[in-house]
Amino acid sequence: MKTLNQHIKSGKFEQVYLIYGPEDYLRKQYKDRLKQALIGDDTMNYSYFEGKNISVKELIDLGETLPFFSERRLILVENSGFFSSSQEEMAEYLKEMPETTTFVFVEKDIDKRNKLYKTVTSLGYGANMTAPDERTLMRWIDGLLRNERRQMSEDVMRYFLERIDTDMENIRRELDKLVLYTDGQLEIRREDVDAVCTVFAESQVFDMIRAVAEKKQVMALKLYYDLLALKEPPMRILYWIARQFNQLYQIKDLQGKGYPDHVIAERMGIRDFIVRKNKALCGHFSLLELRQAVEACVEQEEAVKTGRLNDQMAVELLIIGLSSNS
């Protein structure tokens, strides 16, 4: 992203760009910024394509068309799937396209073995829009709040991030709700977060696992039924439970090997605060118990797939078994 920022600031551009990665908010922000820097409000020399059925021939024909009273023609291609399929023709064309043509590709998922990916990154620049680390994310949130004349303590900010889906677009939406709710109030408090923010289903699964760890079986089952009432499919809940236990297993294993939180976060591809949040929960389980919990999830999934149990009952029995005192 630093290189992309330098290109935008200097006005010195490559002929082809790929903006990719899991963070929707950043992909959109950099797509818009790069488009504005490359061509501004010029609609005559700008073409936009989106979706899986884009004609490569049409793209090439446009690429061969000279810009109209401008030094550049911009072709922006989004969510094409080109970078996870064979696109020999497009890859070969980029090597010989006119200097007056610029391509910008925007994709969530890519395969780095893909020929088009290798061509784009050798001829131009690929920017991976990964989720920012915890400290960067908190600075971004603080900046958004300051613009709205609001503030949030570090403890409340961490609580906020633990309760919601931390996709940056969703964070922005939840902050907008908090700003409206706290009109006339400078400090955003924990109770404000509880009052208006949409609790991420996976956060509720964390609470469920904590109830399981503390052998609070009634509470664990209540949280499960709450998720069912929200129309969450039992098999999705089972997947979340399995993922949570697998995450706990990895954290406890790495912690036992002496790795600090930030290294554990980096190795697992998660944020530091998630490691800290889960470490306390790890203390309720041995490494063996965590592995057995993951295996129990796999067994229940198999029971559903083979028709021995229905999905809702399978998850219920799993929770009962894991939260039993015996």
The string of DSSP codes covering 87-148 is: -HHHHHHHTT--TTEEEEEEES---TT-HHHHHHHHHSEEEE-PPPPHHHHHHHHHHHHHHT
The whole-number pLDDT of residue 7 equals: 93
Rounded to the nearest 10 degrees, what angle do helices 272-282 and 201-213 cross at?
20
Q: Which residue, among 6, 62, 61, 57, has the nearest Cα to 30 in the 3D structure?
A: 6
Average pLDDT over residues 215-233: 92
Q: What is the pLDDT of residue 141?
A: 95
Residue 157 has pLDDT above 70, yes or no: yes
d(CA 7, CA 228): 49
In sequence order, the 6+-apart residues with CB closer than 8 A to the CB of 183 are none
Maximum distance among all alpha carbons in the chain? 79
Mind listing the pLDDT tens digit for each residue in 119-145?
999 999 999 998 788 888 999 999 999
pLDDT of residue 191: 95
> Among 47-51, 166-170, 219-223, which stretch is predicted with the lowest mean pLDDT?
166-170
Neighbours of 36 (CB within 10 A): 11
Distance CA 162, CA 199 (A): 9
Q: Is 134 exposed, middle or buried (0-12, 13-18, 19+ CB in 10 A)?
A: buried
Cα–Cα distance for residue pair 249/247, rounded to 1 Å: 5
Confidence check: pLDDT of 202 > 80: no
Closest to 52 (Cα-Cα) out of 2, 107, 99? 107
pTM: 0.69
Q: Give me the mean pLDDT over the 223-240 stretch.
A: 92
pLDDT band at 240 (very low <50, low <70, confident <90, very high): very high
Higher pLDDT, 32 or 265: 32
Mean pLDDT, residues 152-179:
90
Q: Which domains are seen in the chain, by residue range?
A: 2-128 (3.40.50.300), 134-196 (1.10.8), 201-323 (1.20.272.10)
Task: Measure the CA–CA gap between 60 and 75, rounded to whole angstroms.
Answer: 10
What letter represents residue 258's amino acid?
A: G
Mean pLDDT of all residues belonging to the chain: 92
Q: Nearest-CA neighbor of 20 among 128, 169, 111?
A: 128
Q: Does residue 276 register a pLDDT over 90?
A: no
User: Can you tell me the distance from the alpha carbon of 79 to that of 82, in angstroms, rounded to the nearest whole number?
Assistant: 8
pLDDT at 164: 85
Question: For 53-63, how does the pLDDT look when each residue is reduced to its tens digit (9 = 90+)?
Answer: 899 999 999 99
* The pLDDT of residue 326: 62
What is the distance between the alpha carbons of residues 118 and 126, in angstroms, rounded to a whole number? 10
Q: What is the mean pLDDT of residues 176-184?
A: 94
Please report, rounded to a whole number, the percentage of residues in the chain having pLDDT higher than 70. 100
At 72-111, the pLDDT tens digits run: 999 999 999 999 888 899 999 999 999 999 999 999 999 9
261 vs 271, higher pLDDT: 261
What number is the average pLDDT over the span 234-256?
94
210, two tokens: 């904590």
The percentage of the chain sitting over the pLDDT mark of 90, rounded to a whole number, equals 77
